Structure 1
Amino acid sequence: MHVPLLLTDFLDRAVDLYGEKLAIIGDDRSLTYNQLNGRVNQLSRGLQSIGVEKGDKVAYLAPNTIEMLEGFYGVFQVGGIMTPLNTRLKAADYRFILEHSESKVLLVDQELYPLVADVIPQLEQLEHVIIHGSECDTCIAYESWISTFSDDTFERTELEESDIASLLYTSGTTGNPKGVLLSHRSNYLHALSAMHHLQVKDQDTLLHVLPMFHVNGWGSPFYYTANGATQVMLRKTDPHLILEKIRMHNVSVLHMAPTVLNMVLEAFERDKPDIQQDVRVVIAGSAPPPAFVKKVEENVGWKFIQVYGMTEISPLITISELRSMDLHASPEESYRLKAKAGYAMIGSKVKVVDELGNDVPHDAKTVGEIITRTNGVMEGYYKNPEATNAAIRNGWLHTGDMAVVDQNGNIEIVDRKKDVIISGGENISSIEVEGILYEHPSVLEAAVVSIPHEKWGEVPHAVVVLREEEVATEAELIAFCREKLAHFKAPKSITFSEELPKTASGKIQKVVIRKSFWKDHNRLVN
């Protein structure tokens, strides 16, 4: 008997088993799972009333709010394709994505409406704009709109698990963003694997730190809903607010980028909040230095879990939880292991291969590219077969992340292909150099990029943000790195900045930094 794997199953389970349990805590209201389900039904009827049908794209531009979360299930029930938008794009980017996706409806948070106000009149295919907030001249006010519809059980559009659930646009560093097509099946199977490895349970309370338009920001609601966990919304990534919500709502798990974790650690040292419960912090986005792991587990007392993935694979495929053979490791060694990408999660085959496609030796030295074969791999890039064929070759998705593998099969990312610095023929991992800089007590954040050099072609340069009231010189930091690294790997120069450019999820944008150094040279920077 074939029963399709549909993401609405997860909400159904939560309603059946945890109907009167607290489901969502927002800024101005809280909902049980029964109440959430009722609002989802109202939204589905509203979308149906304005002509949304199976396969139609429904775009969302919103921070982490109740309205954003209920949008996933409301769109799925009518067979629509959820198309979340990055909240930190330019007007031209929104115009491209909304046109390229052929979005029929846009739901937008009132605070973010000015970002798209000027492009909306230019979008011929966009039939309706619904605003989370007060009504405007050309918008439907969300709350008054859905309140006119019944919250009774909704007769869902019949779907197959191979049908597309989400269309997610990658930020991209050059050219237009690419739209990743993910099916109900890929998201569903990823959720089953992730909930196992992250040990999600009904006693959990998740704080949504990652924006829900981003990679695991939209992946996590499915498996926390399935297990009847309570989900706390966070409109703005503010470290002090994060700590207050953890304390106030007894939060037990968070997902975030390393840069956001760094801000939270800094705030923790200053605020010294009274947080008594066990907390798991799940980190993805870039490889963190072992010093981060030590701070989280020793200074703060939380459990650190490193995961790895990308939008094109639903998104997670590896985890760094210690295995039985690693439990004897010293604290320092365990921190180093936990900072790695780790090993394959259930349902994912992951390899590191050389340029000929051969597995690299498990010597923790030989660098290759991470490739994966999993049910989570995207159906392709929307209306972009060339990019799809370049990414998926011979049944394997090529990630563009470079890594080594140790004797126990643990994968350690050394860099993105585009971030590897080739100086005088020697490959330098920017991540390795950053890890050393983070060991210096004055360094809050660091990004290492290549800059042009007349003799060596390119050399490493660091942009550093110092901790409050801390002082360090360029010469001091370079000498610190030269003590711990081969001299050719140490930064040849350092500039100091008040902040580093970041994506909405908190990932450092090295391409922005690189461009300022290469703008007068004949080289494509991406």
Structure 2
Amino acid sequence: MPELDLATLHEAIAAAIPDRECVVTPDRRLTWRQVTERSRRLAHVLHGHGLGRHERAVEPWESQHDHVALYLHNGPEYLEGLLGAHKARVAPFNVNYRYVDDELAQLFADARPGAIVFHACFAAAIERVVRRLGITPLLLQVADSSGERLLDGALDYEAALAAASTEPLDVRPDAGDLHILYTGGTTGLPKGVLWRIGDLMVGPLGLTRRDGTAIDDLTEAVARAERGAHRVLIGPPLMHGAGTWSALGGWCGGACVVFPERVDGMDAADLMATAERERVTRMPMVGDAFARPIVEVLERGSYDLSTLRTMLNSAAAISPDVKRRLMERLPTTRIVDVLGSSESGFAVTRSGSADRPFAPAPGAAVLSADRTRRLAPGEDELGWLAKGGGRVPLGYLNDPDKTASTFITVDGERLVVAGDRARLLADGTVEVHGREATTINTGGEKVFAEEVEGVLRDLPGVADALVVGRPSERWGTEIVAVLRLAPGAEAGGEAGSEADEAGGEADEAGGETSDERLREGCAVHLARYKIPKAFVRTGEGLRLPNGKADYAAARALVDGL
């Protein structure tokens, strides 16, 4: 039986539930029929400008499609862009709206967009970068509150849609059509992950039965959507996988996607008010960057969130104490941690407040340190978390070398190894130690930054923490912690103060977050070599817009000492 694709499934669901709400914002409520008509119009605009899929033989790191860039804040236009692109057989890709010109130029030079859909507030950046690269993509400008004029040569998004047909486009989308997800680039240049839309739907978007088998029958998928009554609140930006996968996964199950009022950052009070008003049932989060402010808002006020069944956390950890407080305030809500990547989807999961090992998702494996074999449960070897099962991307756009090193074959099965170190315990659960890119070798000992960060974030007075390495004559590399203190916390010493190995000379003035107190708190949970040699304090945020760790900013602070 043929696989399903997003465009075909959305059309079929819309035919079954045309008047049910599909997208809700504070000032707009769109039904499935309306979203279908608008996405058809956009598909006609793209197709009418010669964009689509061009059949030719390609390697796993190449694309047969024209590409459309989505340079947008959260909102209906982003989802219409994804859906309309697939209806025209154009491959959509995400653009980080925090990028400066050099980063945008690098991204567009790699992705080669045939069209760019962008909010008006980004018009000046688009103009500069397009001129710099000498490219002439179709430009579709979405009006916003910035008041920016329509860019020369651009089409007004709403006017372009209004002039297009609402009839289905005379092209046939396919499960093999590409959906491109650029990584965040937190540990290097962003890479375009090439997902077949059919694999994306069965993998990260969750189009599966309870036994984990793929739903490949359109009638069955539509019946499932008709029964669905979820309302999914999207706080994370759609420019990253956590937001996009939650929204599209909701659509695959017939859910309504709900957006809060603020779309250019995280506002916990706005999120909770929206969750209450719209009676949402599911909500994605991104670690402590979301969970901490949410629990603080819940502890200060009263919200009726009785319909909220699931909070799905990914991309960053929630500290155990924060999770405990969250569960106290939301006793009927299930908190699920999922760990994966843009390349693997969700590899392991766990529920509840305990900081315990993860259960492997279907297709997950732990490979040996040399990546040549699967580890058996209980083998005491620190290996690599991998994902297989047939539902993995094809490769990285334009990068045969990284494709070959990340997507490997073991015992005849194609697996993706995204870079997380892990150990397979005797009971079959997985102990995850973090990304190899954030592993610090200090004095011959390997230290996983995320382990130290988790301990630091649970210490009194610490709102957030990142751990990086810096050169050391004595240790080769020494561990440095960059901290954002909680409001009212006393450092008891100067920002950036440093400690010697014994940990007794710096910052003896007291205070709950003095160097001495921090070292004492770490010593309860960490071996001596894992305790930071220095602490840097900052009032700036340590997270990217998607809630992931901003290691580049942390390293810049350390390098500036």
TM > 0.5 between the two? yes
Q: CA deviation at 1:147?
A: 1.0
After superposition, give the CA deviation of every residue in 1:91-120 in whole Å (9 maximum; x if it has no partner).
122122223222111110122333323112
Letter in 2 for 1:188: M
Q: Any conservation in 2 of the 1:423–1:458 contact (CA below 8 Å)?
A: yes
Measured after TM superposition, the shift of residue 396 of structure 1 is 2.2
Aligned to 1:343: 359
C-alpha deviation, 1:196, in angstroms: 5.6
Q: What is the Cα deviation at residue 289 of structure 1?
A: 3.1
Contact 2:441 2:477 in 1 (8 A): yes
- In structure 2, C-alpha distance between the alignment counterparts of 1:248 and 1:365, rounded to whole Å: 50
Q: Tell me the CA shift for residue 295 of structure 1.
A: 2.2
Does residue 115 (structure 1) correspond to residue 125 (structure 2)? The answer is yes
Contact 2:234 2:258 in 1 (8 A): yes
What is the DSSP-based 3-state SS (H/G/I as helix, E as strand, rest coil) of the residue aligned with 2:163? Answer: coil
Q: 1:257 aligns with which of 286, 296, 311?
A: 286
Distance across 2 between alignment mates of 1:293 and 1:209: 18
Among 531, 536, 544, the residue aligned to 1:495: 536
* Residue 326 (structure 2) aligned to one of 269, 293, 296: 296
Is 1:150 aligned to 2:181, yes or no? no
* 1:348-387 equivalent positions in 2, closer than 5 A: 348-355=363-370, 357-360=372-375, 362-363=377-378, 366-387=381-402
What is the CA deviation profile of residues 9-50 of structure 1, one whole-angstrom value per residue up to 9, with x for unaligned ones? 331242133211111112321101111111111111222222
Structure 2 residue corresponding to 1:312, chosen from 337, 343, 354: 343
| Residue deviations 1:263-301 (CA, integer Å, cap 9, x gap) | 222333334434333341111113333223212212443
Partner of 2:296: 266
Tell me the secondary structure at the aligned position of residue 419 of structure 2.
Answer: strand
Contact 2:283 2:312 in 1 (8 A): yes
Q: State the alpha-carbon separation in 2 of the partners of residues 365 and 447 from structure 1.
A: 28
Counting only pairs closer than 5 Å after superposition, residues 38-49 of structure 1 correspond to structure 2 as: 38-49=37-48
Give the structure 2 partner of residue 163 of structure 1.
Answer: 177
What is the rounded CA distance, in whole Å, between the counterparts of 2:257 and 2:379 in structure 1? 39
Alpha-carbon separation, structure 2, partners of 1:499 and 1:300: 30
Question: Alignment partner of 1:16: what SS?
Answer: helix
- The match for 2:441 is 422
Q: How does 1:325-336 map to 2 (within 5 A)?
A: 335-336=354-355
Q: For each residue in 1:201-259, what CA deviation from the matched residue of structure 2 results, as whole angstroms up to 9, or x when unmatched?
A: 72211111222221232222332112221111241322221112111111221112102
Alpha-carbon distance change, 216 to 360 in structure 1, aligned in 2, over 3 angstroms? same
Q: What code does the residue aligned with 2:28 have?
A: R
Structure 1 runs of 4+ off > 6 angstroms?
A: 197-201
Q: Which residue of 1 aligns with 2:206?
A: 193
Give 1:177's match in structure 2, choosing from 180, 186, 190: 190
Task: Give SS of 1:448's match.
Answer: strand
Q: Which residue of 1 aligns with 2:152?
A: 137
Indicate whether 1:287 and 2:317 are aligned: yes
Letter in 2 for 1:231: V
Q: Which amino acid aligns with 1:240?
A: A
The one-letter code sitting in structure 2 at the alignment partner of 1:307 is: V
CA deviation after TM superposition for structure 1 residue 184, in Å:
1.8
| Larger deviation, residues 167-176 vs 54-63 | 167-176
**CA separation of 1:288/1:447 partners in 2, compared to 1, >3 Å: closer, same or farther?**
same
Given candidates 222, 237, 258, the residue that maps to 1:232 is 258
1:364/1:477 Cα in 2 relative to 1: closer, same or farther (>3 Å)? farther
Answer yes or no: is the 8 Å Cα contact 1:290–1:336 preserved in 2.
yes
For 1:297 and 1:437, locate their aligned partners in 2 and report how far apart those are by CA, in whole Å: 21
Aligned partners of 2:286 and 2:317 also within 8 Å = no
Q: Does 1:434 align with 2:449?
A: no
Partner residue in 2 for 1:203: 229
Normalised TM-score (structure 2): 0.83
Cα 1:73–1:90 change in 2 (3 A) is same
Within 2, Cα distance between the matches of 1:42 and 1:297?
44
Distance in 1 separating the partners of 2:209 and 2:274: 25
CA distance in 1, matches of 2:125, 2:175: 34
Among 102, 113, 130, the alignment partner of 1:103 is: 113
Q: Unpaired segments of 5 or more residues in structure 1?
A: 323-333, 521-526
Q: Say if 1:303 and 1:514 are closer, same or farther in 2 by CA, change over 3 A.
A: same
Are 1:216 and 2:219 counterparts?
no
264 and 119 in structure 1: CA distance in 2 versus 1, 3 angstrom threshold: same
Cα deviation digits, residues 439-461 of structure 1 (max 9, x gap): 22322111122233332222322
Q: Which moved more, 1:412-421 or 1:29-38?
A: 412-421
> Are the counterparts in 1 of residues 66 and 90 from structure 2 also a CA contact under 8 Å?
yes
Given that residues 354 and 360 in structure 1 are in contact (C-alpha distance below 8 angstroms), is that contact kept between their aligned partners in structure 2? no
For residue 128 of structure 2, what is the amino acid of its counterpart? D
1:304-333: CA deviation from partner (whole Å, max 9, x where unpaired): 1001111122x22322147xxxxxxxxxxx
Give SS of 1:460's match.
strand
Tell whether the 8 Å contact from 1:431 to 1:448 is kept in structure 2 after alignment. Answer: yes
In 1, the alpha carbon distance for the partners of 2:67 and 2:454 equals 42
Equivalents in 2 of 1:377, 1:335: separation in Å? 30
2:408 equivalent among 384, 387, 393: 393
In structure 2, give the amino acid aligned to 1:135: L
Q: Deviations over 1:411-454 (max 9, x none)?
A: 22212112122222222222222222222232211112223333
Q: Residue type matched to 2:313 in 1?
A: I
Partner of 1:374, secondary structure, is coil
Cα gap change, 1:25 to 1:398, in 2 (>3 Å):
same
Alpha-carbon deviations, 1:477-525, whole Å to 9, x = none? 11111123222222222122113332220111224323554589xxxxx
Structure 2 residue runs of 5 or longer lacking an equivalent are 54-64, 144-148, 213-223, 491-512
TM-score normalized by the length of structure 1: 0.88
Indicate the residue corresponding to 1:455 in structure 2.
474
Task: Work out the CA distance in 2 between the residues paired with 1:418 and 1:116.
Answer: 32
What CA distance in whole angstroms lies between the structure 2 residues aligned with 1:168 and 1:456? 38
Tell whether the 8 Å contact from 1:205 to 1:251 is kept in structure 2 after alignment. Answer: yes
SS in 2 for 1:484: coil
Pair 469,512 (structure 1): closer, same or farther in 2 beyond 3 Å:
closer
d(CA) in 2 for partners of 1:196, 1:422 = 43
Q: Residues 117 and 270 from structure 1, CA distance in 2 versus in 1: closer, same or farther, beyond 3 angstroms?
A: farther
**In the alignment, does 2:419 pair up with 1:404?**
no
Instruction: Give the conservation status (yes or no) of the 8 Å contact 1:447–1:462.
Output: yes
Amino acid at match of 2:368: V
Residue pair 1:414, 1:429 contacting (<8 A) in 2 also: yes
**Distance in 2 of aligned mates of 1:415 and 1:310:** 12
Going from structure 1 to structure 2, the CA distance change for 1:196 and 1:411 (only over 3 Å counts) comes to farther
CA contact under 8 A between 2:207 and 2:252: conserved in structure 1?
no
Determine the structure 1 residue equivalent to 2:508: none
Partner Cα distance (2:189, 2:9) in 1: 34
Structure 1 residues 408 and 292: alpha-carbon distance in aligned structure 2, compared to 1, 3 A threshold: farther
Name 2:272's counterpart in structure 1.
Answer: 243
CA distance in 1, matches of 2:514, 2:189: 39
In 2, the alpha carbon distance for the partners of 1:193 and 1:108 equals 29
User: Which letter maps to 2:430?
Assistant: I
Number of paired residues? 501
